[in-house]
Amino acid sequence: MLEHAKNIVTNLIKSGKSHGILGLIQSESGVSPHVFEDEKDVDGLVLSPKWVLAKIASSILDRLPEDYRLSVICRGCDERALNELIKRNQVDGTRLNIIGLACDEDQAKACLCNAPAPSRVDIGTPVKGVDPWADPDARAFIDGDIQVRRTLWQREFEKCIKCYGCRNACPLCNCSACKLADNLWGSQGQIPADPVSFHLIRAFHLADTCVGCGACQDACPVGIPLTLLQLPMRRALDEDYGYCAGSDKVQRSPLFSNLTQGRPVGSTLPAWTDSLDTDHED
């Protein structure tokens, strides 16, 4: 599989169809993202570990001339993230070429990913996705007794050191100025906002853009299961509106297209909203 990937990258360089190919390279200092522009570098190409490249691709295209064409070795989540960025005019899709990399079964399970392959697979063999609701550890956070869930999340949020790693790693956190770093959320000299407010507001900001890449969770130094925070909202959008973030470059978010349309008759609020209820003292 790796040799096949190297052949694809080499042929793209030789043909001149792409000015650079974004992937991972193994060097003496370890594995890191790399733009392959010279055939002599291709021997160092590796396909693991999983590394979300969408944000890096966006940054590269933003800094280089408009005629620069970039190929990206993409897992399913990377492709979905790029689709969202294209849809929201953050990336010019005409400058991109996708090299599809299918995740293996172990990676799909580790990410609780229900769509572990891109729309076109060039490298690897597609495997069946994972249902997060079938995982007992995940269900404790996203389903079941409200008080138990609330306690679990409060315990996790108390670990937060406000490093902003989740925000910085997320390919869809692309506000020019982060609203959650404003003084509105904290006094001078403090790091805004408090951890609970920060994570819940950020989760709602990303409700219709999260593609389940897990970059936020991978970046978290204290191991907060941040992907589980987004799962119920992603599921609600899918079940109520048939919307899956990043599944294509065209479908509009229901948050834009259904602003005046109420919930379908007979539908119920998703259970995850209950765990956000809090008791307020007068």
**DSSP characters over 96-131:** EEEEEB---HHHHHHHT-S--S-SS-SBS-------
Cβ atoms of 61 and 68 closer than 8 Å:
yes
pLDDT of residue 262: 52
pLDDT of residue 280: 45
Cβ atoms of 53 and 79 closer than 8 Å:
no
Range with lowest mean pLDDT among 90-99, 162-171, 222-231, 273-282: 273-282
Cα–Cα nearest to 19, from 82, 76, 66: 66
pLDDT of residue 281: 47
Cα–Cα nearest to 51, from 75, 71, 26, 70: 75
In the predicted model, what is the mean pLDDT of residues 152-168? 91
Two structure tokens written together for 108: 């799909």
Residue type, 3: E
Most confident of 20-34, 235-249, 256-270: 20-34
pLDDT at 258 over 70: no
* Cα distance between residue 214 and residue 211, in whole Å: 8
Write down the domain spans for the chain: 1-130, 133-273
SS3 244: coil
| 226-263 as b/e: b if 16+ CB within 10 A | bbbbbbbbbbbbeeebebbbbbeeebebeeeeeeeeee
Q: If pLDDT is split at 50, 70 and 90, which confidence band does 48 have?
A: very high
Cβ atoms of 210 and 230 closer than 8 Å:
yes
* Cα distance between residue 157 and residue 223, in whole Å: 10
pLDDT of residue 185: 56
pLDDT at 191 over 70: no
Query: How big is the CA angle at 4 (ends 79 and 80), to the nearest 5 degrees?
Result: 5
* Residue 242, C-beta contacts closer than 8 angstroms, at least 6 positions apart: none
Q: If pLDDT is split at 50, 70 and 90, which confidence band does 72 have?
A: very high
Dump pLDDT digits (tens) for 166-175. Answer: 999 999 988 7
Host H or E run for residue 25: strand 20-27
Q: If pLDDT is split at 50, 70 and 90, which confidence band does 78 have?
A: very high
Tell me the CB-side half-sphere exposure of residue 177, using CA atoms within 13 A: 3
Q: Is the dihedral of CA 223, 229, 234, 236 positive or negative?
A: positive
State how far Cα 166 lies from the chain centre: 10
| Region at 266 (left for phi over 0; alpha for psi -120 to 50; beta for the rest) | left
Tallying the residues shown for the chain, one arrives at: 282
pLDDT at 260 over 60: no
DSSP 8-state code for residue 47: -
Dump pLDDT digits (tens) for 51-62. Answer: 999 999 999 999
